[in-house]
Chains A and B, each alone.
Chain A
Amino acid sequence: MNGFDWSAARDALPLVLEGFEVTLLATVLGTLVAAVLGLAIAIAGRAPSRFVTVPVRVVMEFIRSTPLLVQLVGAAALFTFVEPLTIGIVVLGIHYSTYTSEVYRAGIDGVPKGQWEACRALSLSPRRTWQAVILPQAVRNVLPALGNYAISMFKETPFLAVITVQEMVFEARKYGADHFAYTEAFTLAGLVFLVASYPTSLLMRKLEKRLGH
C-alpha cells in the first residue's frame, strides 16, 4: 500500500501525451474509414438486387455482433506483414462502418420521398440524384451521430495496445511496468480520456440541437 505518487504521475505525463498523439491519429483515420465505408455500405444496401443486399446485410450483422478485440487480434495474427497501426485503423474503421452505415441508412430514409420523385421527374441520372440531392440532405442529418461514434471509437482505441500499437494506454502500461507505477499511469490515461471526450460530447450535443434534432 503506497498511495498516489505525484512525482511518478508527472514523470509519466510526457510519455502518455506522446501516446495520445497516436491515439488521436488512429481515431481520426479510423473515423474517416468508417465514414466513407459506411456510406458505401449504406448505398450498397439499397441496391436493386437481392444478391447484393443480402450478403452485405449478413456480413455487416456478423461484424457488428462480434467483439472488436477478437477481430483486431485475429487480423494482426493473420496479416503479420502489415504494420500494427494500419491494421488497427482498418479494423476499427470496418467495425465502426457497420454502425455508421445504419446511421446513413436512417439519414437516407429520412429524406422525403418527394425528393426522389422530383429527381425522377427531372430525369436526373442515379449518380446525380445521390450526389446533388439525396446525400447533401442525408449527411447533414447524420453528422451528430457520426460525431458520437467518433467519440465511442476514441474510447475503444486502447484495444490497439493489444496488437502493440504504441498509443496512450500502451505507453501508460509500459511506464507502469517499468516503474511499478500502474496507479499513476492508468489514472493519468483515464483523466486524459475524460478531459478529451467530455467537452467533445458536449459539442456534439450542441451541434445536434442546432441541426434541430
Chain B
Amino acid sequence: MSGTFVGMPAFPVAAHEAVNNQTLRGNLRHATHTIRGKRAKAVTEVSDWAQLREAGKRIKDHTLRHLDRYLVQLEESVTAAGGTVHWAADADEANRIVTRLVKETGESEVVKVKSMATQEIGLNEALEAEGIRAYETDLAELIVQLGKDRPSHILVPAIHRNRGEIRDIFEREMSEWGRPAPEGLTDTPAELAEAARLHLREKFLRAKVGVSGANFMVAETGTLVVVESEGNGRMCLTLPETLISVVGIEKIVPSWRDLEVFLQTLPRSSTAERMNPYTSMWTGTTDSDGPRTFHLVLLDNGRTDTLADEVGRQALRCIRCSACLNVCPVYERAGGHAYGSVYPGPIGAILSPQLRGTGSEIDASLPYASSLCGACYEVCPVAIDIPEVLVHLRERVVEGGPVTREGNKVVLKPAKGHAAERAAMRAARWAFSHPGALRTGQRLASRTRRLHPRTLPGPGSAWSGTRDLPAVPAEPFRDWWQRTQGGKGGAK
C-alpha cells in the first residue's frame, strides 16, 4: 500500500474492494462498536449535553462570522506572548515555511504530535524531500508510518489494523527507524504500547524541534490547546527548544471561557472519556519552561473557500472528534481508505470536496458516500448537519454552479457522469407537469409489466447494477383511487 492519497479511484470502486476484505471489516466492526457504546454512556453522564452542543455550535458560528477580526486578535496576542505568527494560504506555502524554520535551527529531524493539518498538507513528505526526517510519535501514527500505510480514521489512524498486524509491523520495521522491537513481542495491547514507549523515548529525549497542530486557539489570550492521551504530545510540546504549530484558521475560539464547552464535549465524543489523560495549554513562550522559540503557522488551504459556501461553511465548526466516523454504517463497512483523504467518514465526505474542490473523481464521488441516515448529525458535538451538506454538494456536482476556489469565484460545469440522471429528472419533471401523459404512461407500464427487464439498459445499468428495480403494480395508484373513491367502503 502506498502512503499517499493522490490518484485515488472514486469512492464506489475503493469501497467495493474494502468491503470484500474480511479482516478489515472485522477490525472496523469491533473498534467502532466498542467506542459507540462507551460514547453514549459518557454523554449520558452530563445532563446538559444539548445545551453544551448548542453553545459549541454558536461559539464556532460566531467565530466564523467574524473570522478576520479574531485572526488578527490572535496574531496580536500570540506575538505579545513571545510567539511568531506566519500565514500560509495553501499547503505549499505552509510546507515552505515549516521547512525553512526547521533548517534555521540547523536540525535534520523533528518529533511530531499527531496533527490532521500537517497530514492534510503532506508535511512529512515535504520535509523528507529537503532531507529532514519527521518522526510521528502518536502510537497510531507510528503504526501507520512504520507500516508505510495511510491513515484511515481521524482519531485512531491505524484503526484498520488489529493487534496481530501491529505486532508484525513493529517486529519488522522498528529497527529501520531506531530502537528495534523487544525480543518475543506478543500482541497484547499493553506490550505493544510498551514497545512504542521504548522505541520513541530516545527520540523524545534528544529532540530539538517539535511540530504540532492544535485543537483550539484562544484569540483573546493567544493560548493554544492540545488534547491527547499518551503523553507524546507533552513530550513534543515541552522538551524541544523550538516548537512549530501548524493550525487551520477555523480552530479559533474567541475567549478563554469558551474552552469550558469544548473541554467537556470533545473528550466524551472522541475517546468516550470524562477527560482525556493530558491536555496542554501554552501561551507564547515561558521563561525556563518549555521551548524558547514558538512559531504558529496559520493555514488556509481551502478553508476560506469553504467559508464562502452558505450551506457548506458549517463544516468548519468541526472539532475533529471523529464521533461521526464511529457511528456511520458506510464508514464501518468501507473503512477510511476508500474516502481517499486524511479526513474520512461523514465529515470527510463534506470536508474533502470543499477543501479540495470536486475536480477529481474521488472528490466528486464523496458526497455520495453516505446513506443519509443522519446518525452523524445526531452525535456531532457542534451540530454539523452533515446530511444537509451532502445533499447540497450532490446538487453542486450534478448541476454545477458558482463556487469559490483559491479565493476566486468560478462557475462549475455539471459533472459528466450524471447526464443520464439529469435526463431522467428532466423527463420526470415534464411528465409530472402533464397529467394526461403521466396517466397514459402509467397505464402502459402496468399493462406491459410482465415484459419489464430486471436491469435497466444503457446508462441506467449503472444504477440498477446495485439496486432492484421496483415492481410496477397491476393498476396505477391514481386509477385505484378513482375506482374505489379513495378506498372508501373497503373496496380493494
Do A and B belong to a common assembly? no
